[in-house]
Amino acid sequence: MTDLAAIARSGPASTAVDLAGLTVEALAALVVELGGKPFQGRQLFRWIHRRGVIDLDAMTDLPKDLRARLAEQAVVRTPEVVRRDVSSDGTTKLLLRLDDGREIEAVFIPDTPSQTFCISTQVGCAMKCVFCLTGTMGLARHLSASEIAGQIRVLARELGFLDRPFNVVLMGMGEPLHNYDATMAALRLIGSADGLHVSPRRVTLSTVGLVPGLDRLAGEDYMPNLAISLHATTEAQRDALVPINRKYSLSDLMAACRRFPLKKRSRITFEYVLLDGVNDTAEDARRLVRLMNGLRAKVNLLPLNAATGIPFGRPADQRVDAFAQILANAHITVSVRKSRGRDIRAACGQLVVDNNN
């Protein structure tokens, strides 16, 4: 049986190795073990990651007997598209089903001004930020490197980007630094010159600020851009909005940002969700200015995407502008995130899937 796609759907009981999660080197070693040549591992990697082909039968430049032996002990797992929602603004949300039946969401956001894929790193999230719908799910499980990279492969294939450049933001469901190893392994898979060759400059990792993870990230050679979900300017306020602050405090987080090795001309993005009457006063803005002092930073304001079950409101545009103006007056680069795909629940903090129990 050489139909890998069929085996890939065979469910979580399967302990077979997932070829889509292996590096070129690991594939080469496996192929050699099965009597093949190292370069055939590279061919296999290119089929999967560059061309998005997961059916072993279609990999016609690999010897038939090698394919048969691979199929006996390995699978190529890939997230299955179960729904595709297209927003009036072109934002496209894919509902993806994983091997064990759990579901995640991945989003394509056109013209921001570039083309951006927003992907998930976990099913649900353990961080429970009080304004985020994903947080209400809790954490069902981590995603594997194959499942994280697989979202990009599927988006690229479905939207015609296998040969066109795109950006990647790790801003879907989950906290990437809580699933550190799989996330970084996935970034190396998509960054490989034998795969989609996505430059780390095109990738942004957004984190709630797990300090040990940030310090580890500082030593990586595949170094994505960094975005920090700050959302508050005092310890008490952040404790209330972003519960993980009780473990990794605002002051520890800012210290980690200050020692983070930034590439030439690059800056840390600080995301700040604006909650009406909660953290959007002039005083908050002035404290934010002081926190940014001496940092190569830019601030991205996210007026709340309100939702039922979220006990906060979105500030009026004037209030958002006034907040932004205080930052701009202090010479801080500030932008207001335009909410995309709200009509299909694809906007920030709105990714949630119900049937993951």
| Catalytic positions | 105, 348
Residue 131 touches ligand SAH, criterion: CB under 6 A: yes
| Neighbour order of strands in the sheet with 268-274 | 80-86, 92-97, 103-109, 116-118, 167-170, 203-207, 225-229, 268-274, 297-303, 333-336
Comparing CB distances to ligand SAH, the nearer of 131 and 323 is 131
Element (H, E) at 97: strand 92-97
Element (H, E) at 235: helix 235-241
Candidates 7, 62, 304, 346; binder of ligand SAH (CB under 6 A) is: 304
Identify which of 59, 16, 62 has the alpha carbon closest to the alpha carbon of residue 37: 62
Q: Which residue is nearest to ligand SAH (CB)?
A: 349
The least distance separating ligand SAH from the CB of residue 323, rounded to whole angstroms, comes to: 14
Residues 237-296 that bind ligand SAH (CB under 6 A): 271, 273
Size of the site for ligand SAH (CB under 6 A): 18
Residues 78-117 that bind ligand SAH (CB under 6 A): none
Comparing CB distances to ligand SAH, the nearer of 4 and 278 is 278
**In whole angstroms, what is the distance from residue 310 CA to residue 83 CA?**
25
Which amino acid is residue 348, in one-letter code?
Answer: C
Report the 10 Å Cβ neighbour count for 293: 10
Phi, psi of 4 (to 5 degrees): -65, -35
Candidates 53, 66, 75, 132; binder of ligand SAH (CB under 6 A) is: 132
The least distance separating ligand SAH from the CB of residue 120, rounded to whole angstroms, comes to: 9
Which amino acid is residue 311, in one-letter code?
Answer: P
Residue 208 touches ligand SAH, criterion: CB under 6 A: yes
Tell me the window of 145-153, 205-213, 243-251, 316-324 that interacts with ligand SAH (CB under 6 A). 205-213
Comparing CB distances to ligand SAH, the nearer of 31 and 348 is 348
Residue 192 touches ligand SAH, criterion: CB under 6 A: no
Candidates 87, 91, 92, 206; binder of ligand SAH (CB under 6 A) is: 206
Please report, to the nearest 10 degrees, the dihedral formed by the alpha carbons of residues 341, 203, 232, 240 taken in order.
Answer: 80
Comparing CB distances to ligand SAH, the nearer of 62 and 301 is 301
Candidates 98, 189, 348, 352; binder of ligand SAH (CB under 6 A) is: 348
Burial 33-71 (b: 16+ CB within 10 A, else e): ebebeeebbbbbbbbbbbebbbebeebeebeeebbebbb
Task: Assess contact for 124 and 356: CB atoms under 8 A.
Answer: yes
The least distance separating ligand SAH from the CB of residue 93, rounded to whole angstroms, comes to: 14
- Reading the block at residue 244, the tokens are 């993980």
**In whole angstroms, what is the distance from residue 315 CA to residue 274 CA?**
7
**In whole angstroms, what is the distance from residue 305 CA to residue 274 CA?**
9
Candidates 45, 349, 352, 353; binder of ligand SAH (CB under 6 A) is: 349
Residue 214 touches ligand SAH, criterion: CB under 6 A: no
Comparing CB distances to ligand SAH, the nearer of 207 and 233 is 207
- Reading the block at residue 21, the tokens are 């999660």
Residue 175 touches ligand SAH, criterion: CB under 6 A: yes
Interface residues with ligand SAH (CB under 6 A) are 127, 129, 131-132, 171, 175, 206-208, 229, 271, 273, 302, 304-305, 310, 348-349
